[in-house]
Each structure stands twice: as structure tokens, then as C-alpha cells.
Amino acid sequence: MQNLKLMRAIIFRDYGDPQEVMEFVEDFEIPTPNKNEVLVKVECASVNAADRYIVRANYFIIRMVFGLFRPSKKKRILGMDIAGTIKGIGKNVKSFQIGDAVVADIRKSFGGGYAEYVIVNAKHLVKKPQEVSFEQACTVPISGQAAMMGMILCDIKRGDKVLVNGASGGVGSFGIQIAKAQGAYVAAICSTKKIEAVKSWGADEVVDYKKKDSIKALIGKEFDAVFDTASFECPGRYKQILNKDGKYVLVGGDFYNMLRLKFLGRFSRGSQKFMAVTQKVTVTTNIKTVLKMIADKKITPAIQKVIPLQDVPGAIHSLEQRTVIGKIVVNLNKEVSDHS
């Protein structure tokens, strides 16, 4: 019988290939909540691009945060978003109680979701609607929230034309559906193998970047907004397909493109606006909005597969190989023998 003070977790003791530096353990100590915190039993978490960047330490800032030569002992469990059940409460927490089903973005504590239990500051918690499953809910705090924030910045109106780049990923899958729910015409950019999935989420038009230069293929079609979740080229290229008042919002992709947009000037012409996503609406507010849209069946999280905890390193590897369509969900109650 498992020691009640110990839990299962996926940890990484070094930087590098996730399949080499991450490991499954059963003897990680269960943390204790402080006065403003709760202890959450993680039911489900989801895999995000941030996991791959952190494991590889792709940017020097990651080493500054997690550890210069190897991750510090306190930051060895990744997993940035969770859905679970409260099992313990700090003395100052009044708005939640033991047994509540909750959802949280835990990036500010640098993760912890790939474990049976995690500590979360109560201010980052959102109650999970009963109509939304744990598997659906865990896809929302990072991908769903980012898509909602990006779409708010795109300022979409019914009838607008929106282009989604990186349409087949977690953020893109939410972005397409949110834009459609707001009455937009949606064009999407993805690779050949992912076209059918992207169409199933509601895209009106799909450009296969494997077969043609996406932006050149769209010249002559003016868009009201570009929602870019996978920027690996100069954002300025999009100005030729934006209308004179169009908005370009960068949500994911190259870290240095994000910095360029935030600090090093604009690419716009006329009244066009180019921006990196900023948190103008609180994370918890956006999470609540997306969860309600799911509960109301206006959108559906695009879950490619559900895996057990032990399969997390392989899932992160799949992200690196760009074979993921939508989201991979980690179900902490799923046994290894269950997965195919």
C-alpha cells in the first residue's frame, strides 16, 4: 500500500530529451498548503508547448528560473494546468472547501501538475462546472485561456474574417471554435495531415503550408485579424493580407518574435496593429468564460488522446515531432494497461 505521505509524479533531474531526462517516481513527498493555499488531488492535466521548452532549456531565461545547470529540487515537476479535487485547505481560504472540483493555471508556481497532488494559491482557482468533465476542463487554463485572450485582443465582430496560423494545435483548436462562436469567417493554416481535424473544428477555409507559401496563397484576401499561435517567421509578412485597420495578435511560437513585438517596434502600416498577447482580462475570468462555453456546448476541447501519467515524456516528444492534433490529456486515474 502506498505511503499516504508520498505520491506518484513525473520529474526531470536534468535538461535534455524528455524521454531521457524525465522519469516516473512513486516516492515524491506530498506538499502541505500554507494559509492562502489549497491541496488539490490532480484528476487530469494537459501537455503544453511550455513543457518541451522547459525540459530542453531552449532559452537561457528558463535556466535562470528553474536552475542554471539542472532544475532545482523544488521545480522538478512540470504540468502547467490542472483539473482536480480539493483535499486540503489553508486557514485563510474561505471561498473553497474540501471536495470542490476546481481548475487552475499553475504557471506562476512553475508547474506541478504531473503529480497526484499539487499546491495551488486559492486566487488562481476556478470552480469546474458540473457539465464539463475533468478531461475537458484541464485543457482550458493554458490553451483555452490563451485563445480567449487572443480573440479578445483581435476584437472580433460578427462577419469578420479571421486567419488562424498554427490552427491544429491546442491554442489554435480553441481559437477556431471561439472565433466561429463569435460569428467570424475563419481561414486556417496547418499541415496536410491535420486538415480534416481543422475543418471539423469549423474552419471555413484551410491553407496547407506544406504545399504552398501560406501568406502568398492568401494575398488578395484581406483579413480583419490574424491570430498567430505558431510564429516562426517575421510577423511583418502578415501586413500584406491584413485590412487597413486589421489586428495581428501573436500568441505562440518563437520567443524572440514575442520580444520583438513587445519591445522592438511595430510592423504595421496605416492603422494596423501588431501585438504580442497581453493579459488585459484576468486569467481566471477567461477560464470561467471558456468553461461556460464548453458547458453550453458552444465549443468542444479537441482532445487527441488521453494518456496515463507514465506516458508524459512520450507525449512531450510528440509535441516536438509536431504530430499532436489539438490536446493530449494526462488522466492521473488511468492505468498504464489501459492505454493503446
Please write the tens of the pLDDT for every residue from 207-216: 999 999 999 9
Residue range(s) occupied by CATH 3.90.180.10 in the chain: 6-139+302-338
The answer to whether 144 and 290 are in contact (CB under 8 A) is yes
Q: Which CATH architecture has domain 6-139+302-338?
A: Alpha-Beta Complex (3.90)
| Helix 312-320 × helix 49-56 angle, to 10° | 90
Residue range(s) occupied by CATH 3.40.50.720 in the chain: 142-276
Q: Please say if the pLDDT value at position 296 is more than 70.
A: yes
Sort strands 37-46 and 81-89 into parallel, antiparallel or unpaired.
Answer: antiparallel
pTM attached to this predicted model: 0.93
Question: Binning pLDDT at 50, 70 and 90, where does residue 257 land?
Answer: confident
Q: Please say if the pLDDT value at position 315 is more than 80.
A: yes
Q: Which pLDDT tens digit goes with each residue over 2-56?
A: 456 899 999 999 999 999 999 999 999 999 999 999 999 999 999 999 999 999 9
Could you give the C-alpha distances from 297 to 58, 169, 175, 253, 283, in angstroms and in order?
A: 38, 20, 15, 29, 21
Q: Please say if the pLDDT value at position 339 is more than 50.
A: no
Residue matched to cell numbers 508547474: 111
Q: Which pLDDT tens digit goes with each residue over 225-236?
A: 999 999 878 888
Three cell numbers written together for 10: 513525473
pLDDT for position 268: 67
Helices then strands, counting H and E runs in the chain, come out as: 11, 15
pLDDT (average), residues 278-302 = 97
Three cell numbers written together for 31: 506538499
Q: Which pLDDT tens digit goes with each residue over 121-168?
A: 999 999 999 999 999 999 999 999 999 999 999 999 999 999 999 999
pLDDT for position 271: 86
Cβ contacts of 259 within 8 Å, gap of 6 or more:
none
**E strand spans, the chain:** 6-12, 22-29, 37-46, 81-89, 101-105, 117-121, 125-127, 161-165, 185-190, 205-208, 223-228, 242-250, 273-276, 303-307, 327-331
When mean pLDDT is compared across 53-57, 96-100, 253-257, the lowest value belongs to 253-257
When mean pLDDT is compared across 41-50, 300-309, 331-340, the lowest value belongs to 331-340
Three cell numbers written together for 281: 482580462
Q: Please say if the pLDDT value at position 67 is more than 60.
A: yes
> What would the DSSP string read from start to end of 276-302?
E---SS-HHHHHHHHHHHHHTTS----
Q: By C-alpha distance, which of 152, 149, 120, 237 is closest to 189?
A: 237
Distance from the Cα of residue 6 to its chain's centroid: 28
Report the CATH fold assignment for 142-276.
Rossmann fold (3.40.50)
Distance from the Cα of residue 176 to its chain's centroid: 14
